[in-house]
Amino acid sequence: MTDFGEESLDFAGEAPAGGATGQPWQILVVDDDPDIHTATRLALDGLRYAGRDLQVLRAESAGRAREVLAAHRDVALVLLDVVMESDAAGFDVVRFIREELKNDLVRIVIRTGQPGAEATRDLVARYKVDDYRTKLEMTFEHLRTIVISSLRTFDLLRQLDQQRRDLLDANLQLEQFAYFAAHDLQAPLRGIAGFARILRNSEHLDDRCVSLVEDILASGAELQMLVQDLLQLSRLGRGAMEWGEIALGPVVERALRAMEPELSSRRARITVDPLPTIRGSARQLGQLFRNLVENGTKFQRSTEPQVHISCRREDGGWRIGVSDNGIGIAPGDLQRIFEPFRRLHARDEFPGTGLGLSICRKVVELHGGTLRVESTVGEGTTFKVRLPSLGPPNDVLPAGGAVHFGVAASEAESSG
Ligand code: ADP
């Protein structure tokens, strides 16, 4: 084992507990003054937290501290001097911990010979330093209290971090389960639909049986739609995304062309403002706009459904609005609609699986954005997609006016 000047404190009569959770808490003391090491050792003598001993590691320079920290990933607390081989050597260690090791869990307490300037306070805040004191201020009692409270914070943060990982893991497993379940349901479903079609064409069926077979086919089609949406949702984020610079205008145009039969049967009119180029997946973004436009033209009582896709700059990103003149959503339902399988209407009123908006939200989040909704019942709904911008030099909207799709304006006017 590399010799990092490691010392275990000798706790009279206290045998260290066994097992991983009984391991001593590791504390690293970084100081170029040997007296500080001796004093710290004395101050911490006999101290325990949560039934576990303390193990003190030592480093006499910032360089040495970096080596110790790189080798001991479980250090819970660093007691750190500032002025060592350079005037700000301690702050280089802080930066190394938070930025290079990306270790946000380890607690840091700075003990300095000289009180800090304004710039120091900024660093203390930015790098989440737990305490910053002059050495004179720090009595034995102070030090013991700070060590215990830092260990408590470290312990809580580590538990939270573990819970977060467990949740991510459970989520991943659930997504995998949904994916395989949906995937494996496809083949038997196709089989049922196929056999039902053969049965419908049989000459031995009376009218009542034909009508029952039609019902089987209709339910089968609904189930197939559900399985496809579920597959799509659980596929998002699986594997590598085909990521690139995507001009949104053509993506939306392709999505709308693919929907043409459905849009014209609803006599819908879609207008699209110039859209920017962003970084993302063309397939997923096409899906996003298809779902939003589909909803905007579906949840309607108007004989002239209208959807407008707008775009403008907002806080360094893009805000793309998809607005309709549909039935609207009551304030109490605005958040619920993003939950998987949440539908506000009976299927025979408005068909659907209740997964469209979950897919939309996931797509937007995978693109580093947010999806929100505003609505007025009886007037219409606007979904607001916020996406990060690409940055110069492509960070502009293309020139040009709104593009129209669907029922020609004159046709829509004459039918009104
Ligand atoms: P689906 O469209 O398959 O029912 P979604 O997840 O796309 O499922 O939407 C969930 C619910 O949110 C819909 O069932 C509907 O009640 C409501 N909703 C979504 N978009 C709109 C809209 N543009 N106008 C009114 N209600 C909407």
CA separation for the pair 25, 342 (Å, rounded): 47
Distance of CA 222 from the midpoint of ligand 1 (Å)? 16
DSSP annotation of 348 reads: T
Residue-averaged pLDDT of the chain: 88
- Region 32-51: what's the mean pLDDT? 94
C-alpha angle with apex 107: 101 to 122, nearest 5 degrees? Answer: 85
DSSP 156-197: HHHHHHHHHHHHHHHHHHHHHHHHHHHHHHHHHHHHHHHHHH
pTM of the model: 0.70
Q: 269-272 and 306-314: which strand pairing?
A: parallel
When pLDDT is cut at 50, 70 and 90, the band that residue 116 belongs to is: low
Q: What percent of the chain has pLDDT over 70?
A: 90
Distance of CA 154 from the midpoint of ligand 1 (Å)? 44
Q: What percent of the chain has pLDDT over 90?
A: 68
Long-range contacts of 374-380, Cβ-Cβ distance < 8 Å, separation of 24 or more: 374/334, 375/328, 375/329, 375/331, 375/334, 376/328, 377/327, 377/328, 377/329, 377/330, 378/327, 378/328, 379/325, 379/328, 380/323, 380/324, 380/325, 380/326, 380/328
Q: What are the pLDDT digits (tens) for 210-266?
A: 999 999 999 999 999 999 999 989 888 676 678 899 999 999 999 999 999 999 999
Nearest CA to ligand 1 atom 20: 295
Amino acid at 380: G
- Region 393-401: what's the mean pLDDT? 75
DSSP annotation of 18 reads: -
Q: What are the pLDDT digits (tens) for 313-358?
A: 998 899 999 999 999 999 999 999 999 999 998 878 898 999 999 9
* Residue 9 CB–ligand 1 contact under 6 Å: no
279 pLDDT higher than 90: yes
* Residue 407 CB–ligand 1 contact under 6 Å: no
Q: How far is CA 297 from the centre of its chain?
A: 29
Nearest CA to ligand 1 atom 12: 337
3 pLDDT higher than 70: no
- Region 187-213: what's the mean pLDDT? 93
When pLDDT is cut at 50, 70 and 90, the band that residue 268 belongs to is: very high
For ligand 1, pick from 294, 298, 299, 371 the residue to mutate: most ligand atoms within 8 Å of CB.
Answer: 299
* Residue 323 CB–ligand 1 contact under 6 Å: no
* Residue 305 CB–ligand 1 contact under 6 Å: no
60 pLDDT higher than 80: yes
Amino acid at 101: L
CA separation for the pair 357, 291 (Å, rounded): 7
Neighbours of 20 (CB within 10 A): 5
* Residue 329 CB–ligand 1 contact under 6 Å: yes
